Chain A
Amino acid sequence: MLRFVAKRILMIIPTMLVVTLVVFLLINITPSNPGRIILGGDATEEQVAQLNHELGYDLPLLQRYGKWLWDALHGDFGQSYYTRRDVFEEIGARLPYTLKLTLLSLGFALLIGLPLGVLCATKQYSIADHSLSTLSMFLAAMPAFWLGLLLMLQFALAWTWFPAGGVTGGWKSWVLPTATLCVGYAASYLRYTRSAMLDNTRQDYVRTAMSKGCSGASVTWKHAFRNSLMTLVTLTGMSLSNLMGGAIVIESVFSIPGLGLMGVTAIRRKDVPQVMASLVVLGVFFMVMMIIVDIVYAYIDPRIRAKYQAGQYRNARIKKEAAE
């Protein structure tokens, strides 16, 4: 088990290498001229060329990447071309907001979506099932930023229950943004849970459980839901990156000073150091999340655990038999 985790952690490095290289190349598909952009229109050609040389922009593409990589491995990710601040300073100030929004929304989406999904599956075709399923279809189809604006219109501007933006209002500032983001995902989790549960309640082992005299609740949770956990954990893992993407958009709607605005602007301006550093941070974050998901997976499904432990069980048996 440990070997598996260690292998995955090691995989992060080559993956990040490939990812950063690919994104670096993508950003530089069309050439940019940071020297000009930083110094503005008034600067002379020489000044621009000078700055470009300092920044390493006159070197060929791959060499530029190599230079970045070399510096990065020594811990120097450079400064933003535009704000001239250390890139990690920028990220450090903004990442907590984005993370908070992402994780809060994820938590609530699961809390709402999963139990309701089970409810819909167990009471299939009832009024609750039909209305909840239709409602979640609506919610899943709405563009998140639109929902955010509508909520803002009603609850912040018309009724002034919550602030319309910023993070200075205490917990109230987080209600609307979280609600906006989590609603769509709750709807999606509801539908997936419902579908997984419907699948699992038709399995043979549920029939076996019934024949033992298990109550409805026991069959639903102990047997069917427990087996649905696997799909749900995968789902959560996969939706994490989309969730963060969504958070970035919501930030711009509600003026939350997270990675969103900074990231989008950095990309538009081809602020290479900033983009690369953000990429590394996010990339590592996601890969670690994926590893955690895989570990959780192994705990839930003994068949997968067996794959990871391959050989351990056999060795233990052999030892035991040898001892007898």
Chain B
Amino acid sequence: MADKLLEIKNLHVHYVTDGETVRAVNGIDLTIERGQTLGLVGETGAGKTTTALSILRMLPAYTAKIPQGEIYLDGNPILTMKEKELRKLRGSKASMVFQDPMTSLNPVYRVGDQIAEVIKLHEKKISRDELRERVGKILELVGIPAFRQYDYPHQFSGGMKQRVMIAIAIACRPELLIADEPTTALDVTIQAQVLEMMQDLKKELNSSILLITHDLGVVAAFCDYVAIMYAGEIVEYGTLEDIFDPTRRHHPYTTGLFGSIPNLTEKTDRLSPIAGLMPDPTDLPEGCKFHPRCPNCMDKCRTECPPVYHRGEHRIMCHMAADWGETTTVREEETK
């Protein structure tokens, strides 16, 4: 039993197509302890899904390259282990729930069979009757009547399909559940239901959860820790209080994020979004990747990549935080 459940060290992920290199993830460090829920927040294109897929080494085979980095799942070296061993971990030690439930289920097999598949892969000796019972119980756990295991995916609505996906993901009681924007494709009311269900599951299974989302409201309701991602880097990390407390120090991007959402208590005439757009991942800026949009940009920011300053568990990657926290060892420059 390793100390931490998930450890990601200095991960870099590139997509290489047709002569262009997309630098999706640029040196992130992340840890998740047992029983902890981490929210990974960022805009579209920040590199969140890529990070999630790398944990189980599920990036597209021909285009994705990992030039640097290490990932340890319960001590297992994910990036270097053999495929056969890795398959034993997928679905049982860690599993994923994907964003779009409409296309994530195989249309030609019954829903019960698809759940049964993951159980059979990891518990080969299980009997048919036991399997049927287990599948029924899991469906009940996610709020679907057990007899519906004989139905096909097209007979379910979007929200129910997502519940089936979650059922598949928890069938083998994984220690880590990676949920990539599980509610984005659903209506708000269904969203609430699914999240509530996930809360209950969290208590039942005592799994760790990596929740990827761009919705700060969901994070506030659900997570213990938060990591904010921008242009493939984690620009801020901390506990829920660290991030949501407006009186504490923040990365300018975080401030911008919170400024962009309407506040229920304050009255404002206009929202204050962040100027500009996320940089082109094939052509990232020099120095701090946020500097073109940062209202506090200094000369230093244009040329030097900022180190990570930390105070307690709270970490900020910004030159301005030099007076606020201490720095760890300087980040290794990416070896080309």
Residues of A whose CB lies within 8 Å of any CB of B are 124-125, 203-205, 207-216, 223, 226-227, 300-303, 306, 313
Interface string of B67-110 (1 = CB under 8 A from A): 00000000000000001000111111001101010011111100
Residues of B within 8 A of A208 (CB): 98, 104-106, 165, 168
B58 at the interface (CB under 8 A from A): yes
9 contacts between A and B (CB under 8 A): A204-B103, A208-B105, A211-B98, A212-B95, A212-B121, A212-B168, A213-B89, A226-B106, A227-B106
Q: Give the complex CA separation of A105 and B301 in angstroms.
A: 70
Whether A213 contacts B88 in the complex (CB less than 8 A), given A207-B98, A302-B154, A303-B152, comes out as yes
Please name all residues of chain B whose beta carbon is closer than 8 Å to the beta carbon of A216 when the two chains form the complex. 83
- Complex partner residue of B122 from A210, A213, A302, CB under 8 angstroms: A213
* Most chain B beta-carbon contacts within 10 A, residue among A207, A213, A214, A303: A213
Q: Which residues of B are found within 8 Å of A213, using beta-carbon distances? A: 87-92, 118, 121-122
Q: Is B103 touching A203 in the complex (CB atoms < 8 A)?
A: yes
Given contacts A204-B104, A227-B106, A302-B108, contact A211 B56 (CB under 8 A): yes
Q: B117 at the A/B interface (Cβ < 8 Å)? A: yes
Shortest CB distance A109–B (Å): 25
Candidates B88, B104, B121, B152; contact of A207 at CB < 8 Å: B104
Report A-chain residues with C-beta under 8 Å of the C-beta of B103: 203-205
Q: A211-B90, A212-B95 are in contact. Are A301 and B121 (CB under 8 A)?
A: no
**In the complex, which residues of chain A have a beta carbon less than 8 angstroms from the beta carbon of B92?**
213
Q: Which residue of B lies closest to A301 (CB)?
A: B108
Given contacts A207-B58, A207-B98, A303-B154, contact A212 B104 (CB under 8 A): no
Q: How would you classify the secondary structure of chain A's contact residues: helix, strand, loop or mixed? A: helix
- Can you add 18 more A-B contacts, CB < 8 Å, to A213-B92, A302-B108? A204-B103, A205-B104, A205-B106, A207-B104, A208-B104, A208-B106, A209-B106, A211-B91, A211-B95, A211-B96, A212-B117, A212-B168, A213-B90, A213-B121, A227-B106, A306-B154, A306-B155, A313-B155
Interface size counted on chain B using CB atoms at 8 A: 30
When the two chains form their complex, are residues A302 and B107 in contact, meaning their CB atoms are under 8 A apart? yes
Contacts of A303 in B (CB 8 A): 107, 152, 154
Chain A: CB-nearest residue to B121: A213
Question: How far, in angstroms, from A223 to B108 measured CA to CA in the complex?
Answer: 9
Chain B residues with CB under 8 Å of A207's CB are: 58, 98, 104
**A-chain residues with CB within 8 Å of residue B58 when the two chains form the complex:** 207, 210-211
What is the CB-to-nearest-CB distance from B52 to chain A, in angstroms, rounded to a whole number? 10
CB distance from A316 to the nearest CB of B (A): 12
- Decide: B107 and A223 in contact? CB cutoff 8 A: no
Least CB separation from B57: chain A residue: A210
A309 to B148, CA, bound (A): 18
Return A287 CB to nearest CB of chain B, in Å: 27
B128 to chain A, nearest CB (A): 18
User: Is B98's CB under 8 angstroms from A302's CB?
Assistant: no
Q: Is the CB of A227 within 8 A of B108?
A: yes
Inter-chain contacts of A125 with B (CB < 8 A): 62
Q: How far is the CA of A303 from the CA of B110 in the complex (A)?
A: 11
C-beta contact mask, B260-300 vs A, less than 8 Å → 1, else 0?
A: 00000000000000000000000000000000000000000
In the complex, which residues of chain A have a beta carbon less than 8 angstroms from the beta carbon of B90? Answer: 210-213
Residues of B within 8 A of A306 (CB): 152, 154-155
Q: Which residues of B contact A227 (CB under 8 A)?
A: 106-108
